[in-house]
Amino acid sequence: MTEPQLRALLEKVRAGSLSADDALAELHHMPFEDLGFAKVDHHRALRHGMPEVVMGHGKTIGEVEAIAKSLLERSPNLLITRADETMAATVKALDSTAEYFPRSRTIRVWGDRQVIGKSKIAIVCAGTSDIPVAEEAQITAEVMGNEIDTIFDVGVAGIHRLLSNRARLNEARVIICCAGMEGALPSAVGGMVSVPVIAVPTSVGYGASFHGLAALLGMLNSCASNVTVVNIDNGFGAAYFATLINRI
């Protein structure tokens, strides 16, 4: 509820067209709907101008179904991250256009394919093992109305591969950069471009990668100033943030 809305409501009270009790009730009427186990907040997505997104992990099939049903009634687009095949089958039963991407474990209903972003988002990843996270970012960014350019398998140890993509990198308005192991890619990319770079550490690696901790720490300590970081494997979050920048 914004200030103008509040002012309008108070004016109605002042004008006598709304009782104090009704005003109170209205003030209490929160913009979310109660499903019992989860308060689906239709207004949050609207507020941000984003499609609805649900994290599948940790929810039962029944919960996913109920939430998906509730959301699909109001929105042509839906994204469910960290979902499994059973959830995918359930959503496909609700909407036959639903797609499932097993690599990134994502379910997508993409009814409204209008491009809203003002320019391109480049999604870069260091090795083939980072592709699941990059794919989550790609699917998210697409359903949020962005044009995407993917540049995969351009790690720092083969720096010429990365350099040969300098032009494509500089055409993007914002870059998402996924890397596991030492997580050095965002620093190199950040030094090559003048646009914002969102670094996504991936849990790829073994031993002293400690499930993405090495990449995370590396990215937080990046010597390139145009780099910020999201959680390990959080391709969704990076795409969300990049979308915000691409809509400015």
Task: Give min distance, CB of 59 to a copy of itself, in A.
Answer: 6
Answer yes or no whether residue 27 interacts with a copy of itself by CB under 8 A.
yes
Distance CA 30, CA 53 (A): 20
Could you give the angle at the alpha carbon of 145 between the alpha carbons of 73 and 96, nearest 5°? 40
Stretch that binds a copy of itself, among 56-64, 70-78, 92-100, 108-116 (CB under 8 A): 56-64
Contact pick of 5, 11, 99, 113 for a copy of itself (by CB under 8 A)? 11
Q: Which of residues 147-166 bind a copy of itself (CB under 8 A)?
A: 152-161, 163-164
2 in contact with a copy of itself (CB under 8 A): yes
Q: Is 116 in the site for a copy of itself (CB under 8 A)?
A: no
Which residue in the set 42, 129, 149, 168 belongs to the binding site for a copy of itself (CB under 8 A)? Answer: 129
Q: Is 113 in the site for a copy of itself (CB under 8 A)?
A: no
Contact flag: residue 183 with a copy of itself (CB under 8 A):
yes
Q: Which is nearer to a copy of itself, 64 or 98 (CB)?
A: 64
Find the part of the chain contacting a copy of itself (CB under 8 A) among 69-77, 85-93, 105-113, 175-183.
175-183
- Is 115 near a copy of itself (CB under 8 A)? no
Identify the residue among 5, 31, 62, 93 touching a copy of itself (CB under 8 A): 31
Give the nearer residue to a copy of itself in terms of CB position, either 28 or 96.
28
Report if residue 74 touches a copy of itself, rule: CB under 8 A.
no
Comparing CA positions, the residue from 52, 70, 51 lying closest to residue 62 is: 70
